[in-house]
Amino acid sequence: MFRGNLFVLSGPSGVGKDAILERVLRIVPNLVKSISYTTRPKRPGEEDGKNYFFVNEEKFKEMIDKEEFLEWAVVHGYLYGTPKKMVEDYISKGVDVILKIDVQGGINVKRIFSDAKLVFVLPPDFNELKRRLINRETEDLQDLNIRLKNAPLEISKISYYDYAVVNDNLDEAVDVVRCIIYAERHRLCKEKVEHFLRIFGGVKDEGSKY
């Protein structure tokens, strides 16, 4: 059994990450979402333990002190963190894990898990991003302006990512992310090469990159 893959899905607020992730989780087997912890208020329709684990700042900082996060960051004024144990447990069992986290978090994950694959979701243009944020009606005016102000800063970090997906059409964006996951599952690595050589009695070539 091979170790699972780690995927990261990031992008500005309102770009459609939740919609893409929800669909991908339904159609791709052996893939689970890591549920992050956050100190931000719960939005209408969100469930604790499904969308996020909603905790107060005191609890979050206690978890930081106990080193329970794979990564954590301040995003739009709130704390967000990825639980370390859940991710490591799934990957060790051969299950792929996908994280929906901010750009800072994605970069930090890549530093820890160099094999993690980072996917950046983009809007077709800034006006469409603004329209989507306004239409979802989940932020007050101050929060909305913060997210719009932060969007160009987040996009400026795209060079740290492995893939870019423009979400102009949800069906197409979902299919692109699905294809990325399947392609990465078939990517060779040292572990897989050695496994196949053992099965078929081959000898690794001296010029092999593995």
Binding site members for ATP: 11-18
Residue 111 CB: number of other CB atoms within 10 A? Answer: 10
Long-range contacts of 47-53 (CB under 8 A, 24+ apart): 53/83
Of residues 111, 113, 110, the one with CA closest to residue 10: 110
The number of residues making up the chain comes to 210
Q: In what side-by-side order are the strands of the sheet with 96-100? A: 31-34, 96-100, 6-10, 117-122, 163-166
Per the CB < 8 A criterion, the answer to whether 164 and 117 are in contact is no
First and final CA of the chain: distance in angstroms? 18
Annotated binding residues:
11-18
Q: Which residue has the tokens 């979802």?
A: 136
Burial tier of 125 (Cβ tally within 10 Å: 0-12, 13-18, 19+): exposed
The region that residue 4 occupies, defined by phi over 0 for left and psi between -120 and 50 for alpha, beta otherwise, is beta
DSSP 155: H
